Amino acid sequence: MTPAPPNISERTSPLVLIVDDEPRGRDLLEALLRPLGCRLEFATDGRQAYNRTVALQPDLVLLDVMMPELDGFEVCRLIRANPLVAEVPVVMVTALDDRGSRLAGIQAGADDFLNKPIEGVEVRARVTTITRLNRYRRLQTERNKFSFIAETSPDGYCVVNHDDELTYANAQARRRLGLTPEDSLAGKFFTKLAHEHYRLEPVSNWSNWARQKAASPLYMVRTTAAGEALLWLEVDELPLPDGQGRLLRLHDITEPLTNQRDIWKFHKAVSHKLRTPLNGLCGPLELLVTTEASVPFAEVTDLAQIALESANRFEKQISEVLNFVAPPATVRAPSTTAMASLPTLLRPIQVNLGILFVDLDLPAELRTHCVPLPEAALEVILAELLENARKFHPRHQPKITIKVTRGDGGWLAIQVADDGLTLSPGELELVWTPYYQVEKNLTGEVDGMGLGLPMIASLIWEAGGSCRMSNRPAGAGVIVELVLPSVPQ
């Protein structure tokens, strides 16, 4: 099996392989090269010299010509015949100074010659020059490989310096940041360009991130508000050697995020919409089947009427669920919901969850205002918030207050407050972190996946809004505030 090449970027000094069957020759070269800071390895015969060259891939081989079994010429030919090490510089150290010997060395592939007896100044100068040129060649080769991979990658890759200025951007990154292939990167700052084309979320993670490594995760979200296709980019920061700035990867997560969110919304829609009509259908039918005595015709008619109404409602809800999940998430047409729909959306949620106290404060002048969310999305958001309030209340019977206000600039704020648990500052920061950032592989189990608040955040961010959670200023419980633009119906 061919060994993997060493990582050149991890080498802090040149690696020189000294090949000589005479200990005195090896000791002399070691004494001359140690002051240069070179890392030195040794071989005592031709076969070992070739094997160590392949294994180490040194920056330079100082190869003695006169050795038993395999001489230096044969070792050099073997090195040049192996693609893995064919480019390694080889300097032959020889006492032969005739023209024929040098010609044989050139034909074998030698790059240079050192004559015995060796002069210290000469050998240091040759080694310094050759190792510097060889390391530059290797680094250039690695850069070329990186450029090829980066330019053909579906991900965007860019390098920023410590002032957040772009020093490199592959074709995909340029497209994502609104740059053409001809645009100069001089004076172009990553965060500024990202902010011009995307919403940067979560805001707390992006704060001051240009000057220090940010907390994970970081997202760039292009909403559908401007009529463009939805796009989610996850920004990963990758290390660069020697403190040369930061390498950023812009990874498209639109499809996995929207697919995962649709699983969550489907679960919420099914559990909320279908449970009540199914109970209304099964209850009367079970009563009719299990009743031993004859049931008066009037009661049979009443029970049948209840079952029929529940069946009709069940059919309607099934149709709504199927229509909800049928279109692909990335092409679902944007729609709006009027605040006047809130009472209608809240009542069945409150009944299904068995919450006794839900107070809605909706001023009459705000009932006609709309938010850029489909009704089904707003419904599952409310269901998740109320279910969380019940789940985390000590007695599972919270008192919930929902208040709608209008702020400057046409923003609508929906505040959902409960009297349950109070969270620590660390917990308040993490509640919006998407689940898939913690566990990439879905198991198929929906309950307990921790998707609720992160999925709410993704819906709100896509609609051009923001979300916050804070502890109530007085008493136990939290306040979730969803801020959304007010749009025409």
Tally of helices (H runs) and strands (E runs) in the chain: 14, 18
**Among 220-234, 261-275, 342-356, 429-443, the range of highest mean pLDDT:** 342-356
Note the pLDDT of residue 363.
94
User: Mean per-residue pLDDT for 140-148?
Assistant: 71
Render pLDDT for 331-345 as a digit per residue (tens, 0 to 9). Answer: 345 688 999 999 999
397 pLDDT higher than 60: yes
Query: Can you name the CATH fold of 154-252?
Result: Beta-Lactamase (3.30.450)
Residue ranges of E strands in 353-473:
357-361, 370-371, 399-406, 411-417, 466-471
**CA–CA separation, 185 vs 254, rounded Å?**
27
User: Mean per-residue pLDDT for 311-339?
Assistant: 64
Are 417 and 477 in contact, with CB atoms under 8 Å apart?
yes
Parse the chain into domains and list their residue ranges. 8-149, 154-252, 334-489
Treating both helix axes as pointing N-terminal to C-terminal, what angle do 254-290 and 342-353 enclose, rounded to 10 degrees?
A: 60
Q: What is the DSSP letter of 132?
A: H
**CA–CA separation, 400 vs 36, rounded Å?**
74
Render pLDDT for 402-416 as a digit per residue (tens, 0 to 9). Answer: 999 998 878 999 999
**CA–CA separation, 439 vs 441, rounded Å?**
6
CATH of domain 334-489: 3.30.565.10
The tokens describing 110, both together, are 């030698």
Give SS3 for 482.
strand
327 pLDDT higher than 60: no
Pick the closest to residue 22 from 122, 124, 118 (CA basis).
Answer: 118
User: Mean per-residue pLDDT for 280-308?
Assistant: 75
330 pLDDT higher than 80: no
- The top-level CATH class assigned to 8-149 is alpha beta
The tokens 């189990």 sit on which residue? 445
450 pLDDT higher than 60: no
Q: Please give the mean pLDDT across all residues of the chain.
A: 81
